[in-house]
Amino acid sequence: MSQNIRRPVTFGVVIGSRAFFSPAPCKAARDEVLAQLEKIGVKAVILPFEATANGAVQSIPDAELYARHFKAHRDEIDGLVICLPNFGDEIAVAELVNRAKLNVPILLQASNDEIDKVDVHSRRDAFCGKFSVANNFWQYGVPFTETTTHTCDVGGAEFGADLERFARVCRTVRGLKNARIGSIGARTAPFQTMRFSEKLLQASGMTVVTADLSELLQAAGAIDDADPDLATKLEKLKAYGKIPAHIQPGQILKQAKWTLAVNRWIEENGCDASAIQCWRSLQDNFGCATCVTMSMMGEELMPSACEVDVIGAVSMYALALASGQPSALLDWNNNYGYEPNKCVCTHCGNYPKSFIGDTPEIGELDVLGETIGRAKCFGAVKGKVKAGPMTYFRLSSDDRNGTLKCYLGEGAFTDDPFGMDGGIAVCEVPELRKLMKFVSYNGFEHHVAMVRGHVADVLNEAVVRYLGWPIYTHGGEPEPQLLTPHRF
C-alpha cells in the first residue's frame, strides 16, 4: 500500500550570517541544528561547511549556490530551517528562498545574546536581524513559521521541540498538497450532506480517484479461495479483534475477500486515503460490511471514511499526518444528558483499534442488520473509545464562496458510560454549545474527524500559514490584528 505518510521528513538547512559579525557562532549553530535534526529522525540537505565562508549564507553568490543545491534536491525537501546565529544577511536569505522556489514551509530561528557577551567582538544582534529577514519575507510574499520565543538557543530543548513540531507541520502540508483520495462507489442517495467539490480539492493539490462499486464487487468475487494473499488477509482479520462464535467461516472469508480487493485497488491507484459507499449496496449485493476494512486501513495510517465522505477522509488524513496516529470519522450524534460540554460521537464500527484503545469486537452492523438481516452485515468494529485527550478537525468545500473551509479544536474522550451499540466516544469539549452553533450556522457536515492526543497547534499552523483555508480554531487565541487609526 501507499505509505506517503511514513516517508521521512527532510529539511534544507541554512545558516544566515552578516559578514562583519563574529563568524564563530556559525559553525556551532550548524553543528547544533544538525544534531537536533538527527535526534528527531529528520534528514538534512546542506552544503559542506567549506562551500561558503564560515559555512554560512552571507552574500548573493552564497544564496545562488544554496539555491542551486536545494533545487537539485527539490523532490526531497519538505521544509527549510533558517538559523540566524547573528544578525544575518537579509538580502542573501531572501534571495536564496526566492531563487530556490521550493514553496515549502520555513522555520526562522534567531539565537540569544548572552548578557555578558555583547561587546563588539561577541554580540550577535539576531534579535534585531530576525525582523529584517521577516520584513523581506513579507516583501517577497513568503510565509514562514515562528519559533516559540523570538530568540532561542539552537542546541536547547525549546528549539528541539520547535523542530519536532515543524516537522509535523511540513509532513501535514506536503501530505495534503499532494494527496490522492480514493472514492469507491456513489454517494448514498439519502446523504446529500456528503456532496462536495472535487475541483476545490484539486485547486489545493488533492486528486480524487473514483471507482464504481460494481468494479470492486467484481474484483472481490473473482478472488480465488486459494489466493495466498487471501490467506494472509484472513489471518490478519481474525487476529484484529474478537469475533463472536456465531459468525460463520464463510462470512469471515467474504469479508477478507472484500478487504483484499479494496487494498489492491488502493495500492494500484496510489491513494493516501479513501471513502467508501458503505451501505447498503455492498450488503445486498455481496453480503458483508466494510467497516473493518476501513478500520484496518486506518490502523496503517491510510484513513478511510464511510458514506463516501471524501472530504471527511481528507480531514482524517490531515489529523493522521499531524499526529502520526490513526484517526477516525465520527458523527456528532447525541447529547449526554444535561451536561453542557459533553456529547456522544458514534459510528457503526469503522474506528481503528488503537483509536478505541482496546481490542474491539468484530460483529454485525446493528441498525442495518435489523433491517436487512445480520448475516449480510458482518464486519462492524465495536468498542468504546478509551478516555484521553483528543483533537477534532473538519474540512468542507464551500461552493458558494469557492473555497475549502474548516474548523479545529481540542477536547477529551471521557470514561462516562453510554449504552449504545457500535463505536462509541463520549466527548468533552469546552464551550461545546458555541462550537455546535458555529458548525450549524456555517453548514458543516455532521461528520467530524478525531485523533487521540492534542495536535491542534500543528494543524492550525499548516492551514493558517501555508494552506490558506479559512479556519475557526475553537478555543484558540486569535492572531493579533493590524489596526489602522482614523482621524476624527
Residue 341 half-sphere exposure, CB side, CA atoms within 13 Å?
10
Residue 357 · residue 388 · CB < 8 Å: yes
3-state SS assignment for residue 400: coil
**DSSP annotation of 408:** E
Q: Are residues 63 and 98 in the same domain?
A: yes
State which amino acid sits at residue 420.
M
pLDDT, position 37: 98
When computed from its CA atoms, the radius of gyration of the chain, rounded to whole angstroms, is 25
pLDDT per residue as tens digits for the range 226-245: 999 999 999 999 999 999 99
30 in a domain, yes or no? yes
In tens, the pLDDT along 287-340 reads 999 999 999 999 999 999 999 999 999 999 999 999 999 999 999 999 999 999
Tell me which DSSP letter residue 74 carries. Answer: T
Position 3 scores a pLDDT of 77
Do 206 and 129 fall within a single domain? Answer: no
- Is the same domain home to 205 and 239? yes
Q: Give the Cα separation of 257 and 230 in Å (integer).
A: 7
Cα(348)–Cα(330) distance, rounded to whole angstroms?
Answer: 9
Classify residue 3: in a domain, yes or no: no
Q: Give the whole-angstrom CA distance, residue 421 versus residue 398.
A: 33
Separation CA 20–CA 24 (nearest Å): 12
Q: Final residue of a domain: which of 144, 176, 208?
A: 176
Whether the CB-CB separation of 150 and 189 falls below 8 Å is answered with: no
DSSP designation for 171? H
Quick check: is 5 in a domain? no
* Residue 201 forms part of a structural domain: yes
Q: Which residues contact 420 (CB under 8 A, 6 or more apart)?
A: 334, 344, 346
Ranges in the chain, pLDDT < 70:
1-2, 118, 120-122, 488
- Residues 374, 315 share a domain: yes
Whether this prediction's pTM lies above 0.85 is answered by yes
Q: Which of 62, 44, 50, 53 is nearest to 24 (CA)?
A: 53
Cβ(451)–Cβ(320) below 8 Å = yes
- Of the candidates 122, 137, 41, the one whose C-alpha atom is nearest the C-alpha of residue 82 is 137
Looking at the fold, whether 145 and 284 belong to one and the same domain comes out as no
Q: Please indicate, yes or no, if residue 59 is contained in any of the structural domains.
A: yes
208, 159: one domain? no
Residue 345 shares a structural domain with residue 197: yes
Same domain, 95 and 227: no
User: How many residues in the chain?
Assistant: 488
Residue 480 lies in a domain: no
Q: How far separated are the first and last CA of the chain, in Å rounded? A: 65
Range of the domain at 321: 181-473
- Of the candidates 157, 142, 66, the one whose C-alpha atom is nearest the C-alpha of residue 106 is 142
Quick one: pLDDT at residue 189? 83
pLDDT in tens, 440-471: 999 999 999 999 999 999 999 999 999 999 99
Do both 198 and 169 map to the same domain? no
pLDDT of residue 1: 45
Which residue matches cell numbers 474522550? Answer: 413
Q: Are residues 316 and 329 in the same domain?
A: yes
Would you say residue 4 lies in a domain? Answer: no
326 with 437, same domain: the answer is yes
CATH of the domain at 268: 3.20.14
- The grid cell for 371 is 433491517
CB 51 within 8 A of CB 65: yes
CA atoms within 13 A on the CB side of 123: 9
Locate 467 and state its grid cell: 494552506
User: What is the pLDDT at residue 2?
Assistant: 47
Question: Position of cell 484513513?
Answer: 303
In the chain, the number of structural domains is 2
Let me know if residue 484 belongs to a domain: no
Placement of cell 460490511 in the chain? 289
* Alpha carbons 257 and 217: distance in angstroms, whole number: 10
- CATH number at 153 reads 3.40.50.10940
Helix 157-177 vs helix 24-39: crossing angle, to nearest 10: 60
pLDDT tens-digit profile of 13-45?
999 999 877 788 999 999 999 999 999 999 999
